[in-house]
A and B are shown apart, each in its own frame.
Chain A
Amino acid sequence: MPTLTIDGQQVTVPEKTNVIEAAKTLGIEIPHYCYHPGLSVAGNCRMCMVEIEKAPKLAIGCFTPCTEGMVVFTNTEKVKQARKDVLEFLLSNHPLDCPVCDQAGECWLQIYYMQHGQYESRMMENKIKKSKKATSIGPHVNLDQERCVLCGRCVRFCDEITKTHELGIFGRGNREELDVFPGKQLDNRYSGNVVDICPVGALTDRDFRFQVRVWYLGVQDSVCPGCSRGCNIQIHYNRNRPHHGHGRRVARLKPRYNSHVNQFWMCDEGRYGYKFVDAGDRIISPMLRRGAELQMATWGETLAASAERIRAVNPSQIGVIAWPQLTNEELYLVRRLFVDGLGCKNVSFSVPSKKDGGGDDFLITADKNPNTRGAGEIGLPIADSTGDILQAASRGEFKLLHIFGHDLLSSGLDQPLVESALAATETVIFQGSNSHLTVDRADIVLPSATFAEKSGSFTNFEGRVQRIHEAVPPLGDALPDWQILNRMARALEMGWDYQGTEHIFKELAENVAAFSGLSYCVLGDQGELLGYKPTNEAHIPTEPVTTVII
């Protein structure tokens, strides 16, 4: 554990820490392009130069390990001049097309030029033209070679993380170009990450390009609902330009660092899987069946109708199909309402999907639900599988089915069975966010919020409980599922009065052993494992919180 001095401040760091990381712990930023903490060190951009006492010349911070007694200066005249010179080189063939560049506003050429460049241009020569501008190189990524600073981060990502080797730097000198091999595509299950780590506008996201300028975006921490890994993400939402981006409020998802879960990365399926949040099939109003038609109704009418029908039947005649897309808090309320409150014994939650989830040995898991583990810990299902419930329903044993989210009619379930179960059941209540075939068969429809529109927590397959936060308000009249359940319980006069998700979580932690000791404070922004044992020390997050763009 060497102790060194950086800009007059002493710091002790683990063996082999480089100067950039050591400085980061002191809150000192050493500008850099090619270095990325999730990749091997390349040392090619020369932006990270620092002055080291007794060293004959400047050294690069990314490739210099800290040693005992080292004295580092990050802000001397020599260092400042070096940064200026490096920027002048990097920009000598750069097209300076920021007004039409989607990276503008989060571009490290812009940021570092303003912080460390600010020189007068001396370029008299013509700039070298590169071959590809605004060219798609794969399903998700666009390439603009003139803007590339040849840092090689994207190449190393494809070599070291996905090991798919699509990208390379070809040619040499001022004609070097980043590209794919002729005729090949950048097409792997994690390709979107290269856009995040590209420090400039060379690689941009085809899905996000030109939808919203980044300075109009708001940021909210969340967790990807795409599979049971629960990658930590940021939701970037369109804060105040609703007319931009074709009405998409959620503009993009970005991975958020969590050393226990996803490090710096996320998969493409998860990254581009959020479209349902603002899709045209969102259910924006409660609905009641009047004759052959589902008609819009108020929450009051709908909840009263639901309560009436629930009260009218024996609890043993109610089947509930919960949903592992619900948060821990909501699943807990499902249990409280149907099982503990009404005494209903037929609650399932998982529905097989038609296609295989295709898990891999990196992040993607086969279970496409973020909270299957949570549901299990909370004690769902009770007794039966969804198949059993449908069997019973088709035999006419149920008078009421409460279905959360699932589209049973396009699932991997036996379809004739689903048909006969729906037909044989008097009242079908559907509670979910998006419309589909099953919704058309419901008698009462309760519109719920998506993951981006509510707060709560998911438990990933390893048992890590992680928080999600509301980024945008629920669309139309939709409400978070926990609020719907809370109101329904009140309509059933169960005496509930939950004030918020934290209130529910507190009770959950008291009642469900696996969650004991956990609280929103303990979960923090990196989550915490089930079976947590509080220590006497105050809870301190163990990892430095690093933002995506590094």
Chain B
Amino acid sequence: MESEELQGIIDHYAGEKGALISVLQDLQGVCNYLPEPALRQVSDALHVPLSQVYSVASFYNAFSLKPRGRHHICVCLGTACHVRGAPRVLQEMERQLGIRAGDTTEDMNFTLESVNCVGACALGPVVVADGGYSGQMTARKVSPLLKTLGTSHEENQNDS
């Protein structure tokens, strides 16, 4: 991201109290993560110490300090999903993508994460992929899900 673009975001919230979180949210929206140079710029522009910017950025799960993949998969490990077999779903995801939860594939295609409840216990085990919920997941359904995501990605690329 260019620093002018970031300055645009910052100016948008200029003068607002507590602008930090809003700026970081927009930044995350544009870049998919919070690049370090951008955090330094935010700190300077908002006169918030770097240590505090970093505290906020590392506190919320919605922010990532590492570049994230084009597709974002989140496996729920809340109690209800857990007892219905979510760990096996997660394991299968990790096996097929070749990464641990929290990591991103080398081709930057997928980021895999786990959460401790998305509030859709009745559908459990739940996987949230690019914002879409897939309920009653099983290990067997992992492969088709990844395929759909992968294709949609290719389509997007063809579109552009």
- Which residue on B lies nearest to A164, using beta carbons? B49
B36 with A155: CB separation less than 8 A: no
A170 with B54: CB separation less than 8 A: yes
- The docked-state distance in angstroms from the alpha carbon of A169 to that of B56 is 9
CB of A424 to closest CB in B, whole Å: 58
Chain A residues closer than 8 Å to B36, beta-carbon distance: 182
- Which residue on A lies nearest to B36, using beta carbons? A182
A167 with B51: CB separation less than 8 A: yes
A171 with B51: CB separation less than 8 A: no
Chain B, range 34-68, C-beta contacts under 8 Å to A: 36, 49-52, 54-55, 58-59
- The docked-state distance in angstroms from the alpha carbon of A75 to that of B49 is 41
A181 with B59: CB separation less than 8 A: no
Decide if A166 is an interface residue (CB 8 Å cutoff).
yes
CB of A192 to closest CB in B, whole Å: 19
Main secondary structure of the interface of B (DSSP, over half): helix
B58 with A181: CB separation less than 8 A: no
Chain B, range 57-94, C-beta contacts under 8 Å to A: 58-59
- The docked-state distance in angstroms from the alpha carbon of A170 to that of B52 is 9
CB of B85 to closest CB in A, whole Å: 22
- The docked-state distance in angstroms from the alpha carbon of A172 to that of B50 is 17
Chain B residues closer than 8 Å to A165, beta-carbon distance: 49-52
Interface residue from A158, A168, A172 paired with B54 (Cβ < 8 Å): A168
- Which residue on B lies nearest to A171, using beta carbons? B58
CB of A325 to closest CB in B, whole Å: 39
- Which residue on A lies nearest to B53, using beta carbons? A181
Decide if A180 is an interface residue (CB 8 Å cutoff).
yes
Decide if A311 is an interface residue (CB 8 Å cutoff).
no
A168 with B59: CB separation less than 8 A: no
- Which residue on B lies nearest to A158, using beta carbons? B51
A170 with B58: CB separation less than 8 A: yes
How many B residues face the partner with a CB closer than 8 A?
Answer: 9
- The docked-state distance in angstroms from the alpha carbon of A158 to that of B36 is 22
Q: How large is the interface on A (under 10, 10 to 19, 20 to 34, 35 or more residues)?
A: 10 to 19
Chain B residues closer than 8 Å to A172, beta-carbon distance: 58-59
Chain B residues closer than 8 Å to A170, beta-carbon distance: 54-55, 58-59
A169 with B55: CB separation less than 8 A: yes
CB of B109 to closest CB in A, whole Å: 26
B58 with A184: CB separation less than 8 A: no
A184 with B55: CB separation less than 8 A: no
- Which residue on A lies nearest to B39, using beta carbons? A181
Chain A residues closer than 8 Å to B52, beta-carbon distance: 165, 168
CB of B1 to closest CB in A, whole Å: 19
Interface residue from B51, B55, B58 paired with A166 (Cβ < 8 Å): B51
- Which residue on B lies nearest to A170, using beta carbons? B58
CB of A242 to closest CB in B, whole Å: 42
- The docked-state distance in angstroms from the alpha carbon of A155 to that of B58 is 16
B51 with A180: CB separation less than 8 A: yes
Query: Which among B50, B51, B59 has the greatest number of chain A C-beta atoms within 10 A?
Result: B51
Chain A residues closer than 8 Å to B55, beta-carbon distance: 168-170
- The docked-state distance in angstroms from the alpha carbon of A165 to that of B47 is 12
Encode A153-184 as 1/0 by CB contact (under 8 A) with B.
00100110000011111111000000011101
Chain B residues closer than 8 Å to A155, beta-carbon distance: 51
CB of A204 to closest CB in B, whole Å: 20
Chain A residues closer than 8 Å to B58, beta-carbon distance: 170-172
- The docked-state distance in angstroms from the alpha carbon of A199 to that of B103 is 35
- The docked-state distance in angstroms from the alpha carbon of A171 to that of B57 is 8
Chain B residues closer than 8 Å to A166, beta-carbon distance: 51
- The docked-state distance in angstroms from the alpha carbon of A327 to that of B143 is 82
CB of B33 to closest CB in A, whole Å: 14
Encode B7-45 as 1/0 by CB contact (under 8 A) with A.
000000000000000000000000000001000000000
Interface residue from A159, A169, A171, A184 paired with B50 (Cβ < 8 Å): A184
Encode A515-532 as 1/0 by CB contact (under 8 A) with B.
000000000000000000
- The docked-state distance in angstroms from the alpha carbon of A63 to that of B129 is 45
Report, nearest first, the 7 A-B pairs whose CB atoms are least far apart: A165-B49, A168-B51, A170-B58, A181-B50, A168-B55, A171-B58, A172-B59
Q: Can you give 5 A-B contacts (C-beta < 8 A)?
A: A155-B51, A165-B49, A165-B50, A169-B55, A180-B51
Starting from the known contacts A159-B49, A168-B55, 15 additional A-B residue pairs (CB-CB under 8 Å) come to A155-B51, A165-B49, A166-B51, A167-B51, A168-B49, A168-B51, A168-B54, A170-B59, A171-B59, A172-B59, A181-B50, A181-B51, A181-B54, A182-B36, A182-B54
- Chain A: residues with CB nearer than 8 A to chain B? 155, 158-159, 165-172, 180-182, 184
